[in-house]
Amino acid sequence: MEIIGEWLSWSNLFYMIGLGVAGYAASVTSKNRNMVIQFGEFIKAIEDGMRDKKLTKEEKDLIMKEALDVAKAFVQSKWKLW
């Protein structure tokens, strides 16, 4: 009975919950990899544009293009149209 008591502890429970969450996050990320990549490019475009605290027309156009790419990746991941 002591062996079961050693296995069933709060720390092991939290460890297993953490492994489950990490596994789920990894599967979701690999399934939606294109969307994650596009979102990263979108964030990078915003950071580059706001570096000097002013957005030029070219920077606004780049940010809008990246936002549309994120939306396209989201639609493709949900409905696989293209």
Distance from C-alpha of 47 to C-alpha of 4, rounded to nearest angstrom: 52
Name the residue with higher pLDDT: 74 or 79.
74
Cβ proximity of 75 and 81 under 8 Å: yes
Task: Supply the pLDDT for residue 19.
Answer: 87
- pTM (predicted TM-score): 0.58
Task: Supply the pLDDT for residue 65.
Answer: 92
Task: Supply the pLDDT for residue 73.
Answer: 83
pLDDT, mean of residues 37-66: 87
3: Cα separation from own chain's centroid: 40
Average pLDDT, the chain: 80
